[in-house]
Structure 1
Amino acid sequence: MEPTREQVRAAPKVLLHDHLDGGLRPATVLELAREVGHELPVGPDADAEALGTWFAEAADSGSLVRYLETFDHTVGVMQTAPAITRVARECVEDLAADGVVYAEVRYAPEQHVEQGLTLDEVVAAVQEGFDQGVAAAQANGTPIVVRQLLTAMRHQARSMEIAELAVAWRGRGVAGFDIAGAEAGFPPTRHLDAFEYLQRENSHFTIHAGEAFGLPSIWQAIQWCGADRLGHGVRIADDITVKDDGEVELGLLASYVRDKRIPLEMCPASNVQTGAATSIAEHPIGLLTRLRFRVTVNTDNRLMSRTSMTDEMTALVEAFGYGLPDLRWFTINAMKSAFLPFDERLAIIDGIVKPGYERLISG
Structure 2
Amino acid sequence: MSTVDQDYQLPGGGANITALPKISLHDHLDGGLRPQTIIELADDIGFALPASEANALGTWFAEKSDSGSLVEYLKTFDLTTAVMQTEAGLTRVAREFVQDLAADGVIYGEIRWAPEQHLARGLTLDQTVEAVQAGLDAGVDDVQSAGKTIRVGQLVSAMRHADRGLEIAELAVRHRDAGVVGFDIAGAEAGFPAGKLREAFDYLAKNFFPATVHAGEADGLESIRGALFDGRALRLGHGVRIAEDLVLESEDGDNSYVSLGPVAQWVKDREIALELSPQSNLQTGAIAQWGNDLIDHPFDILYQLGFTVTVNTDNRLMSNTSLSKELFLLSEAFGYDLTDFEVFQLNAASAAFLSLEEREDLADQITEGFGRA
User: In structure 2, how many angstroms separate the alpha carbons of the residues matched to 1:206 and 1:324?
Assistant: 27
- Which residue in 2 is equivalent to 1:273? 283
Contact 1:176 1:204 in 2 (8 A): yes
- Which residue in 1 is equivalent to 2:119? 113
Report whether the alignment pairs 1:34 with 2:43.
Answer: yes
**Which of 204, 213, 218 lines up with 1:198 in the alignment?**
204
Report whether the alignment pairs 1:319 with 2:333.
Answer: yes
**Which of 181, 188, 198 lines up with 1:182 in the alignment?**
188
- Distance apart, 1:140 and its partner CA: 1.1
SS at match of 2:333: helix
**Which of 91, 95, 111 lines up with 2:101 in the alignment?**
95
What letter is aligned with 1:266? Answer: L
What letter is aligned with 2:99? Answer: E
- Which residue in 2 is equivalent to 1:263? 273
Q: How does 1:143-158 map to 2 (within 5 A)?
A: 143-158=149-164
Change in 2 beyond 3 A, CA 1:293/1:26:
same
User: In structure 2, how many angstroms separate the alpha carbons of the residues matched to 1:177 and 1:104?
Assistant: 11
- For structure 2, the 5+ residue unaligned runs are 1-9
Q: Deviations over 1:204-250 (max 9, x none)?
A: 01000000101000011102321111000000000001244111111
- Which residue in 1 is equivalent to 2:310? 296
- Which residue in 1 is equivalent to 2:344? 330
**Which of 73, 80, 84 lines up with 1:74 in the alignment?**
80
SS at match of 1:116: coil
- Which residue in 1 is equivalent to 2:61? 55
User: In structure 1, how many angstroms separate the alpha carbons of the residues matched to 2:18 and 2:154?
Assistant: 24
Q: Deviations over 1:87-110 (max 9, x none)?
A: 000000000000000000000000
What letter is aligned with 1:37? Answer: G
Q: Deviations over 1:139-165 (max 9, x none)?
A: 112210000000000000111111001
- Distance apart, 1:280 and its partner CA: 1.4
- Distance apart, 1:51 and its partner CA: 0.3
User: In structure 1, how many angstroms separate the alpha carbons of the residues matched to 2:215 and 2:109?
Assistant: 20
User: In structure 1, how many angstroms separate the alpha carbons of the residues matched to 2:227 and 2:12?
Assistant: 36
**Which of 14, 19, 34 lines up with 1:10 in the alignment?**
19
User: In structure 1, how many angstroms separate the alpha carbons of the residues matched to 2:189 and 2:12?
Assistant: 36
User: In structure 2, how many angstroms separate the alpha carbons of the residues matched to 1:247 and 1:153?
Assistant: 39
What letter is aligned with 2:16? Answer: Q
**Which of 85, 94, 117 lines up with 2:91 in the alignment?**
85
Change in 2 beyond 3 A, CA 1:173/1:4:
farther
SS at match of 1:148: strand
User: In structure 2, how many angstroms separate the alpha carbons of the residues matched to 1:174 and 1:5?
Assistant: 37
- Which residue in 1 is equivalent to 2:260? 250
Q: TM-score, normalised by structure 1?
A: 0.96
Aligned-residue sequence identity (percent) comes to 54
Report whether the alignment pairs 1:212 with 2:218.
Answer: yes
User: In structure 1, how many angstroms separate the alpha carbons of the residues matched to 2:15 and 2:87?
Assistant: 36
Q: TM-score, normalised by structure 2?
A: 0.94
Moved over 6 A (4+): none
Contact 1:5 1:314 in 2 (8 A): no
- Aligned positions, number: 356
User: In structure 1, how many angstroms separate the alpha carbons of the residues matched to 2:13 and 2:176?
Assistant: 39
